[in-house]
Structure 1
Amino acid sequence: MSTFNGLPAHVLFVHFIVALAPLTALLAILCAVWPAARQRLVWLVLALSLIVTVLTPLTTEAGEWLEDKVGRSPLIEAHAEIGDTMLFFSLALLVGAVLLAVIHVSAARGRAVSSVLAAVVAVFVVVAGVATIVQVYRIGDSGAKATWSQIA
């Protein structure tokens, strides 16, 4: 999809990523460090992380289409390169959400979850979550610079 209602699809998809990826990361971190939150939010986190993972390649594909339309510049190419890395962060967030769900289901079935395993998963989720938030900021900043430098 290259346009939606006359607007470049990239512009629309970006807003989903900018809102959902950090929100999902924060909720995943909350679930990782607070078991009571995990009981209530784990399935939401899993669903949101799946949505972010699906939207990420759609956003980058739409961005490549837009790049072809507006022309290449060093700033746009830098934004595209860093934007292509977002899939790795989305996948890490999804893996973290899956691990949280596995821990949740195991605990709900009365299986003891090793505290070492729970700690490793928590560290992974916190690192993936913080990295995702930072990467969304970096990608957005480079996109804003690429966009607004052509207007100014």
Structure 2
Amino acid sequence: MQQPYTTRVVVVMGVSGTGKTTVGLLLAARLGVPYAEADDFHSSASIRKMTAGIPLTDDDRWPWLDAIGEWAHGRAGLGGVVSCSALKRVYRDRLRSAAPGVVFVHLAGEQGLVAERVAARRGHFMPAALLDSQFAILEPLGADEVGVVVDVSGTPG
């Protein structure tokens, strides 16, 4: 029997500026489960790197993904929502290995629109200059991955 979504961990994924925090908070409130912000799991070194406009490497991301996976594992069977870019399949595989049964909600949008949103955002360490590097490594959900893609462009599809 499949686990109900209110007891599963949902990972709201996508590049910076797609609305992961906004959607994650709304979804967690709607489901009545805790929300975790992936930015809170970054090391201070990674935050300094991104603030300086330097893209993170996989080596920078592994401890971050492991920390998010640990949080998700602790919520298994209880439910939760976490935002996490989860840009590559291997990142999502790592999260799934830590917390089997996670479900992904991929917030996707046209790069120009997302760039406008990032440029208009205030008080966030992620500069718009890093958006190109995120789109360059983004691997959409595979057909065998449990999840859904949501277009954030706001246009009828």
TM-score above 0.5: no
Q: Which structure has the bigger radius of gyration? A: 1
* Higher-helix-fraction structure: 1
- The TM-score with structure 2 as length reference comes to 0.30
Write 1 or 2 for the structure with the bigger share of strand: 2
